[in-house]
Amino acid sequence: MSTIDQLIASGVRGLQPYQPGKPAETLERELGITNIIKLASNENPHGASPLVAAAITDTLSGLARYPDGSGYSLKETLSKRLGVSAEQITLGNGSNDVLDLVVRAFVDPGQQVVIAEYAFAVYALATQSVNGELIVVPARDFGHDLEAMATAVTDFTRVVFVANPNNPTGTYRDCASIEHFLEALPSSVIVVIDEAYFEYVKELDYPDSIRLLSHFSNLIVVRTFSKAYGLAGLRVGYAIASEQITEVLNRVRHPFNVNSLALAAAEAALDDQDFVVRSVTENLKGLKQLASGFGELGLGWIPSVANCICVRVGPNATQIFESMLRQGVIVRPVANYGLTDYLRVSVGLEEENDRVIETLKNALADSTGS
């Protein structure tokens, strides 16, 4: 072990960094091909509202100044939209930042964090980095088994993460299940409901978890501008919780964690709900398009309400992923989640979804032929 190795904090020692989707530019460089499409990071294929570009242009002249560290204006706008007070909102550099704040604020080394099998990878990373103990509860039908998760809570549990819907599986739990879950837990356990895909879900039994905040003082709802609002590159997310929890999260929040372009962009994005509605409508069509294409290829999939869908390609998933890459289509292997037979496809534009099906068909032919 080198000197530096010995210095590494215990929680960081075994940590494997988060693996992002492969950028199109990297693949272009590696293969020397163009016309690459990336459907690997659940980004909005329609971009963002034109109001965003205008707001950013207006903000450029002020870049020598620090941003508003309190995010006053964005929080006021969010507060009106969501019907909560500005003192209940914590802004983050993406919602990843907020998830990390929760762990830093509430988890001591050795204390437990409960997550579901196949849950979004960032919960485990944040927990391990502070040397918390991760309790992983087996999934049910690829989704969160909330009943089993409630049972897994002990006196040592500080935080439970629920991704609703979950990434990568796109599964969700309904309103009644979420309410029962919250009722089953002691108020001394922080419950984070991560709603990164909130805007996309049109199921009637999907919970309005902000309404639950007045009943459960231990609840934190997390949302983001990275998905339906199309601002993944700018990094803005937020938590909504009680004023008391919010005050605690803000103790560990880095000053100026959201930059001025991002603050202005997020506020402008909220002003264009038509853009969100169009994105969501197109996403629902895209999910159907992909599922029917998978069906025609004889493949199964995990039913999804998010902007991604996991397709069951079988034990050759890695070869199929690589074959699709060579054909210029970047999707996401999910073996790191234990979903070894699956690939996750983000919903793209109609023609991009067609290309997924076409390249997948070729890849399957390659893999059975070889």
Contact flag: residue 67 with ligand PLP (CB under 6 A): no
Q: Which is nearer to ligand PLP, 95 or 367 (CB)?
A: 95
Q: Does 101 bind ligand PLP (CB under 6 A)?
A: no
The span from the CA of 270 to the CA of 76, in Å, is 12
Strand 157-163 to 190-194 pairing = parallel
- Which region holds residue 329: left if phi is over 0, alpha if psi is between -120 and 50, else beta? beta
199 binds ligand PLP (CB under 6 A): no
Please spell the DSSP secondary structure of 142-155, one letter per residue: TB--HHHHHHH--T
Q: Does 321 bind ligand PLP (CB under 6 A)?
A: no
Q: How far is CA 259 from CA 59, 68, 85, in A?
A: 11, 8, 22
Least distance between ligand PLP and beta carbon 119 (Å):
8
Query: CA angle 355-310-95, nearest 5°?
Result: 105
- Interacting span for ligand PLP (CB under 6 A) from 94-102, 313-321, 323-331, 349-357: 94-102
HEC per residue, 274-291: HHHHHHHHHHHHHHHHHH
What does the alpha-carbon distance between residue 358 and residue 366 come to, in Å, rounded to a whole number? 13
Nearer to ligand PLP, 139 or 196 (CB): 196
Query: In angstroms, rounded to a whole number, what is the distance separating the alpha carbons of residues 348 and 201?
Result: 17
Residue 111 makes contact with ligand PLP by CB under 6 A? no
Q: Tell me the closest approach of the beta carbon of residue 306 to ligand PLP, in angstroms.
A: 8
Burial class for 134, CB neighbours closer than 10 Å (0-12, 13-18, 19+): middle
Q: In whole angstroms, give the CA distance from residue 309 to residue 175.
A: 22
Rule CB under 6 A: say whether 304 interacts with ligand PLP: no
CB of 344 to ligand PLP, least distance (A): 10
- Which residue is associated with the tokens 């007045």? 214
Near ligand PLP by CB under 6 A: residue from 71, 94, 286, 348: 94
Q: Is 218 in the site for ligand PLP (CB under 6 A)?
A: no
120 near ligand PLP (CB under 6 A): yes
Name the minimum Å distance from CB 87 to ligand PLP.
Answer: 22
Q: Which is nearer to ligand PLP, 196 or 311 (CB)?
A: 196
What is the spatial distance between Cα 9 and Cα 31, in angstroms, rounded to a whole number? 39
Interacting residue with ligand PLP among 95, 246, 257, 279 (CB under 6 A): 95
Looking at the Cβ atoms of 100 and 352, the one nearer to ligand PLP is 100
Contacts with 178 (C-beta within 8 Å, 6 or more apart), sequence order: 146, 162, 164, 193, 207, 209, 212
| Contact range with ligand PLP by CB under 6 A, out of 26-34, 54-62, 152-160, 223-231 | 223-231
Q: Closer to ligand PLP at the Cβ: 126 or 245? A: 126
Nearest Cα neighbor of 60 from 209, 338, 261, 231 is 261
The span from the CA of 75 to the CA of 234, in Å, is 17
Q: Are 360 and 297 in contact (CB under 8 A)?
A: yes
Considering only residues 167 to 196 of the shown chain, the ones binding ligand PLP according to CB under 6 A are 167, 194, 196
Q: Cis peptide leading into 186, omega within 30 of 0?
A: no
Interface stretch with ligand PLP, choices 127-135, 224-232, 253-261, 316-324 (CB under 6 A): 224-232
Binding window for ligand PLP (CB under 6 A); candidates: 4-12, 91-99, 130-138, 315-323 = 91-99
92-100, 210-218, 273-281, 337-345 -> range binding ligand PLP (CB under 6 A): 92-100
- C-beta of 25: minimal distance to ligand PLP in Å? 19
Pattern 35-54, ligand PLP, x by CB under 6 A: -------x------------
Within 240-279, which residues bind ligand PLP (CB under 6 A)? none
Q: How many residues bind ligand PLP (CB under 6 A)?
A: 14
Q: Which residues bind ligand PLP (CB under 6 A)?
A: 42, 94-96, 120, 163, 167, 194, 196, 224, 226-227, 232, 237
